[in-house]
Structure 1
Amino acid sequence: MSHFTPPDPPTLATIAEAKKSLEVQQQSLRELSEKIQSAQDTLSRYIRETQYAITEMEKERGILEEKVTITLAYISPIKRLPAELLREIFYFNFEEYPCCAWVLSAVCRMWRKLVLSMPILWSKIRLMTNLASSAETIRLWLERSGNSVPLDIEIFLRYSPSPVTAISSKNRRRVSYVTTQLFGDALDVGPGQATPVIQLAPVGGGAGHAATLVQVPQHHNAHVPQILHTANAIAASATGLMHTLTAQGPDDVFGMPPLIPSDRSSHNSKTRKAMHWGHITFYYLVEQMHRWERFVFRFDKQFSSYAALGAVEGDAPLLREFEVSCAEASFYPNWKWLPSAPPNTHDTSSLRSLTLHYVPFKWTSSVFHNLRTLNLRCLPNVHLAIDRILYIINQSPQLEQMSLSFASPGQPVLPLTPTTCPYLRSFNISGHYHLTALVEALILPALETLVFDVDTRDAVEDTVSALLARSGNPPLTRLSLAYGVHNTSFFFSAAGVTSWHFLSELDQLEILQVGSTPFEPLVAALSAPSEDAQQDRWMCPNLTTLCLRACHTRGDAVARLVQMVDARNPDLSNGGAPFAVGGVAPARLKKLEVHECSQLGPDVVAWLKTRVDEVSCSDPLFDRWVVLA
């Protein structure tokens, strides 16, 4: 159709001709639009048919991939590994990671079935939890441990509720990737098998090495070398899985049981759960008390259902270690629980280690009999007489380690009699000055570690010297005087040391920790012998660790410290060596800590690090001699 150019202005003739042209154009437009729509309909139909065909092929491919996965799993060497050998691999990982059963049971159906048939893998309960978590986790753990396996229980309860961390979709993909990379096609992961939700919490674990499994009966077929290789690989992979998960950080670590979903619908639901957590938990635990071999329960402060601890009562013939510790002192009623039960009421004949921190106990309880380790931190409102504390000590003549802390002990009711602890190697005592009378009644011939943190009113060296003299100068290797945190105060009367001459009798001392005492006299006593200091021998010639905290100083404190270190640790680059006095030369200091004593300065600290292997210093936070308004 030729292009029509109408004249301007239009005439009757040109208008008529334009109308005829418009009809033709509109007809052509309608025909072309119909052709385009027809082509689009054809294309859409083709796309639908092709997409349907692709979907069907993808379904068929998925079915084939599933068959290939199942076939690969069926022919994998792990299928020919004897169950007894796989059990040994699991046992090996259990020694390194007590909670490994939760991970191993989530790998595949075969492993889950095997792990659930091994109650010993569930016998070590390691749980870090809070009141918002479900107590059903403990029930599940106890059920899987069977009915006869001894239980090793550690539960740490954090009072402050924190959001429970579960595996996100990203973490699920990472776990799947880690598992695939470590185990490859040796794992028979069933189709549609979901990975359970696992609670993530920090857990300790040392580095381990894969076991080498070489004891296989000789009558096995020709695939024995391949099975052995696979066994070693699986052992290494199982351990590697634990290490990989542990290395992902404290907020990304398997090591705790699966998270039992809680009702998040209302605040009232969480409050009710927090109120009853202790009662539900200890109901399950006390039911299995006859299987307890080790029980440790620690909590940071008093919680709403703390009275449930009173239910811990009954026979525990297998119990070797018992600990209930609270980090914060509070008021507790006099429960009729195991540490408060009358003598010979319950069977605790196997108990050898006892730790009670800020919980009630009775000094006549049979739990204090025949112990090897005793740790007591008494409630501040309990005024136990000194002679009754001595009675507790007398019930365990085989004691090897003892730690006592009493904030307000009472005066002795009966006269104190000398008490010998022939096997006691470590003695830690802290609290009220009345405890000095207890120390004066003890004879410790095997003492190696003495931590004396008592707020004394007399010179502490007299008490320590008298104890060592009565004990026949035991082989003391560590001495700590007023080094506890509660003694780092504004004033410096805690240690009460006026003379350090008693150190001349401690030739075997290797570690010395001192707090809240004059700085210069101690440093001078440890320096090279001199006539001015009236020393004719090195004090503590075997000393390798010196720690000072909150020791008040004078102007020449830093110079005295430098002189002491220079005398004991001369410059090795110049072939220097400490001079011998009386044929005895001191050992080199390996560790030096000076905290809140004096501002040493960066130059002195740098010099100390050239002489001592490990140096840790911190300046005072304030001037202790300034009187605060």
Structure 2
Amino acid sequence: MPYSQFPEPPTEATLRSARHELSSKLAELESLTGRIATTESALAEIVSSYKRTIAALQQEKSQVEQAVAQTRAYVAPIRRLPDELVRVVFNAAFDEYACAAWVLSGVCRHWRRLTFAMPRIWSKIRLVTTQHASADTIRLWLERSGSLTPLDIEIFLQVGKNETKLAQTRRRRTPTPPTPFWHTATHPPAMHHLQTPVVVPPSPPMYRGNGEKAGNSTVRTGMHWGHIAVYYLVEQMHRWERFVFRFEKQFASILALKSILGDAPLLKEFEVSCAEPAFYSDWLWLPSAAANSTFALPNLDTLTLRYMPFKWSSPMFRTNLTSLTLHALPTGHFPLDRILHILSANPGLISLSIHFAAVIAAILPLSPVSLPRLANLSMGGHYLLSQLLESLIAPTLEQLTLDIEARDPIEDTITNLLVRSNNPPLTTLAVAYGGSATSLSYYGSGIVISWTFLAELRHLRTLRVGGTPFEPLLGALADGEDWLCPALTGLAMKSCHTHGEGVKQLVQMVAARNPDAGAASGAPVRLQRLELYECASIGTDVVAWLEGRIDEVVCTEPTYDRQVFFSPVLGE
């Protein structure tokens, strides 16, 4: 009976009855427990049986689905295309995307065989890698490109923090290439010349001798990446048509570049660039070869060396280049006349960019050098380079960029160059806009004393200046009596110090050149783009007003207020 039905207090009779009831209930409980266990076991067996049945059915379904997929693939219209047409499609994909071969070869065995039989679509190497990745990717690329196809090579080596980001990106298997570090700046960065190539499928992982994957202990293997990769590349040097190798900073196996020495009969463009200055001694490689070397470089017309060793007498500088970019090492000291010798040996130059931080006076007298095809000239670094500029004649010059240490007013040098060159139609002028601290003048008024020389630049469309006073340039551009640069559509100023009237003069200049009522007769072309980087605290109201007058306005505030303005800026 239930506990509540037992009388209180308990007696001997009721206790005996309770003990008998307890014994009976315990036996019943044990019986029920056993029945539950038996039922659960039977259920588990049934479930297990059905699971086995379902698994078998799923496996059978998978086989049928695979057969259906294979049959669909067999009856697909593309199967009826002749291999000749498929190769045409592959070539078109390759022309659009240099790494298409890696994707196409992974579709099916037939396509893989076709891509392996087409060396051309493997002839463009576009690789972003690190020194801890395997160099086998380069080996495979070269092997699949055959033995006769000309090679177009672009390799970007990430070193330091960026190589860690690249490794993490590859582990995530993301198809999106990592953003280069110089694409995140708010204004044109110092390394805008480095364009990152596309990212290909990840390189095979590095392995230690016992077959275990290398984790944190990859430092030693990273010391040899350059030697292995450059060995593979130099073996095919006779097929190079374009060779571009860029890296962020000095790496462990950089001396492997010494192996780049020999004939390159197909080579048209050669570039080795470092993103930051390095300090290492000279070594013997193609750009530092002896003057009497007889290496075959008959087609070389574009040469770029940034922070890499070279000699002025190298045969690479005697191939009548059309494009030359030289950023010398800080430890390199070149006499001025030998730099001029490099230019005189290439009279067909169309684009010239040189930067020498250390220059010594000329040993031999400087003679005038005419570059009749030169359209783009960029020069920066040591103040003695202004003497080099005084020796140049460029009758077709269109773009001029100067970032030279200022010892004398730079406007006289610019004027003399233009007069000697018979006033070429200059469309772009940049003065001290590169951002180097040494480009500021020793004069208190800035690198340019007077802007009157702009009166001769009737074709100028883009003007970029840095490190110069804010007000004089704006005042000169706002003078309506004799408009300076009447074709000017773009103005950029960087780190230009201002005084109390700077912002007001900016508004007056824009109002004069971009009036509300439209251009009057004889008025200059309207400004279309205005860039101001760390020049003055403009204010949101002024920026809004500028955006109403100019199509594109870019303003960044200085890190500190150069001047506090108390007077009103905008007029009525």
DSSP 3-state at the match of 1:354: strand
Q: Offset at 1:384?
A: 0.8
User: Are 1:378 and 1:406, in contact at CA under 8 Å, matched by a contact in 2?
Assistant: yes
Cα distance, 1:433–1:495 mapped onto 2, change above 3 Å: farther
State how far apart, in whole Å, the 1-side matches of 2:256 and 2:415 are: 46
Q: Which range moved further: 394-403 or 31-40?
A: 31-40
Distance 1:514 1:44, change over 3 A: closer
Structure 1 SS opposite 2:400: strand
Cα offset, 1:38, TM superposition: 5.0
Spell out, residue by residue over 1:312-365, the C-alpha distance to the aligned partner (whole angstroms, 9 max, x if none).
001101110001111222222222111111244211110000001111111111
Residue 405 of structure 1 and its aligned partner are, at CA, apart by: 0.6
After superposition, the C-alpha distances for 1:344-391 in whole angstroms (9 at most, x for unaligned) are 421111000000111111111111121000000111221111111111
Shift of 1:165: 3.6
Tell me which residue corresponds to 2:429. Answer: 479
Q: CA deviation at 1:120?
A: 1.3
- Please state how far the C-alpha of 1:133 moved relative to its aligned partner: 1.2
Partner of 2:62: 62
- Tell me if structure 2 keeps the 8 A contact 1:481–1:495: no
Out of 503, 508, 512, the position equivalent to 1:563 is: 508
What SS does the aligned partner of 1:70 have?
A: helix
* Pairwise CA distance, 1:419: 0.8
Q: Which residue of 1 aligns with 2:568?
A: none
Contact 1:339 1:362 in 2 (8 A): yes
The answer on 1:408 being equivalent to 2:358 is yes
Contact 2:99/2:124 (<8 A) preserved: yes
Instruction: Measure how far apart 1:488 and its partner are.
Output: 7.8
Find 1:366's aligned residue among 312, 315, 320: 315
Which whole-Å CA distance do the structure 2 matches of 1:322 and 1:524 have between them?
45
- Which residue of structure 2 lines up, in the alignment, with residue 242 of structure 1? none
- Asked whether 1:276 is paired with 2:214, we answer no
For 2:49, the equivalent position in structure 1 comes to: 49
Alignment partner, residue 82 of structure 2: 82
What SS does the aligned partner of 1:485 have? coil
Question: In structure 2, which of residues 227, 234, 238 is the aligned counterpart of residue 290 of structure 1?
Answer: 238
Distance 1:88 1:11, change over 3 A: same
Q: Which runs of 5+ in 1 are unaligned?
A: 176-198, 205-252, 531-536
Secondary structure of the corresponding residue to residue 143 of structure 2:
helix
State the one-letter code of the partner of 1:284. Answer: Y
**Matching residue within 452, 456, 467 for 1:501:** 452
**Superposition TM-score, scaled by structure 1 size:** 0.79
Aligned partner letter, 2:518:
A
Shift of 1:513: 0.9
The Cα of 1:609 is off from its aligned counterpart by: 0.8
Output one character per residue of 1:194-236: Cα deviation in whole Å (capped at 9) or x when no partner.
Answer: xxxxx964599xxxxxxxxxxxxxxxxxxxxxxxxxxxxxxxx
Alignment of 1:617-628 (within 5 A): 617-622=555-560
The separation in 1 between residues aligned to 2:263 and 2:67, in whole angstroms, is 55
User: Equivalents in 1 of 2:297, 2:367: separation in Å?
Assistant: 28
The residue identity in structure 1 corresponding to 2:421 is S
Say whether the 8 Å CA contact 1:456–1:495 is kept in structure 2. Answer: no
1:111 aligned partner, one-letter code: W
Task: Give the 3 Å change call, closer, same or farther, for CA 47–351 of structure 1 in structure 2.
Answer: same
Distance in 2 (alpha carbons) for counterparts of 1:262 and 1:168: 14
Alignment of 1:71-470 (within 5 A): 71-160=71-160, 161-162=163-164, 164-165=167-168, 201=178, 255-263=199-207, 269-343=217-291, 344-369=293-318, 370-470=320-420
Preserved contact between residue 356 and residue 376 of structure 1 (Cα < 8 Å)? yes
- Bigger drift between 109-118 and 158-167 goes to 158-167
CA distance, structure 2, for counterparts of residue 616 and residue 62 of structure 1: 59
Contact kept? 1:372, 1:399, Cα under 8 Å: yes
Q: Cα gap change, 1:461/1:280 in structure 2, threshold over 3 Å: closer, same or farther?
A: same
Q: What TM-score comes out, normalization by structure 2 length?
A: 0.86
Change (3 A) 1:591 1:51: closer
Give per-residue Cα distances to partners, 1:300-319, cap 9 Å, x unaligned.
Answer: 11111111111100110111
Q: Which amino acid aligns with 2:505?
A: R
Out of 526, 530, 534, the position equivalent to 1:588 is 526
2:188 corresponds in structure 1 to none
The answer (yes or no) to whether the contact 1:552–1:597 under 8 Å persists in 2 is yes
Q: Secondary structure at the match of 1:512?
A: strand
Decide whether the 8 Å contact of 2:104 with 2:115 is kept in 1. yes
Residue of structure 1 equivalent to 2:570: none
Report the CA distance shift for 1:17/1:34 in structure 2 as closer, same or farther (over 3 A).
same
CA displacement 1:596-620 (0-9 Å, x = unmatched) = 2222222211111111111112232
Instruction: Check if 1:523 corresponds to 2:471.
Output: no
Q: Partner amino acid for 1:386?
A: L
- Give the match for residue 569 of structure 2: none
Q: Structure 1 residues 19 and 526, CA, compared in 2 at 3 Å: closer, same or farther? A: closer
CA contact (8 A) 1:492 1:551 kept: no
Aligned residues: 538
Aligned to 2:484: 539
Residues 498, 562 of structure 2: 8 Å contact kept = no
Distance in 1 between residues matched to 2:488 and 2:38, nearest whole Å: 99
Identity %: 48
| Aligned-partner Cα distance in 1 for 2:355–2:28 | 105
Give distance in 1, aligned partners of 2:347 and 2:439.
Answer: 37
| 2:567 match | none
Q: Quick one: structure 1 residues 349 and 16, their matched pair in 2 at CA, closer, same or farther if it must change by over 3 Å? A: closer
Check the 8 A contact 2:373/2:396 in 1, yes or no.
yes
Query: Is contact 1:461–1:497 with CA below 8 Å preserved after alignment?
Result: yes
8 Å contact kept, 1:353–1:374: yes
User: Larger RCO: Structure 1 or Structure 2 (Cα < 8 Å, ≥ 6 residues apart)?
Assistant: 1
Task: Provide the secondary structure at the position in 1 that maps to 2:241.
Answer: strand
- Is the 1:99–1:124 Cα contact (8 Å) retained in structure 2? yes
Asked if the contact 2:432–2:440 (Cα under 8 Å) also holds between the matched residues in 1, the reply is: no
Mapped partners of 2:30, 2:500: distance in 1: 107
Farther off after superposition, 367-376 or 254-263: 254-263
Q: Return closer, same or farther for 1:554/1:433 CA change in 2, 3 Å cut-off.
A: same
The alignment partner of 1:127 has SS state of strand
Aligned to 2:543: 605
SS of aligned partner of 2:110:
helix
Deviates more, 1:309-318 or 1:29-38: 29-38
Which moved further from structure 2: 91-100 or 51-60? 51-60
Task: Tell me the alpha carbon deviations over residues 416-438 of structure 1, each in whole angstroms, 9 at most, x when there is no partner.
Answer: 11110000000000111111111
Q: Cα 1:491–1:31, aligned 2, differ >3 Å: closer, same or farther? A: same
SS in 2 for 1:162: helix
| 3-state SS of 2:360 partner | coil
Q: Within 1, Cα distance between the matches of 2:21 and 2:386?
A: 123
Separation of aligned partners in 1, 2:508 and 2:32:
105
Task: Kindly indicate whether the alpha-carbon contact (under 8 Å) linking 2:169 and 2:178 is maintained by their aligned counterparts in 1.
Answer: no
The answer as to whether partners of 2:536 and 2:561 remain within 8 angstroms in 1 is no
Q: Which amino acid letter does the alignment assign opposite residue 350 of structure 1?
A: N
**Contact kept in structure 2, 1:430 and 1:452, CA below 8 Å:** yes
Question: Counterpart amino acid of 2:548?
Answer: T
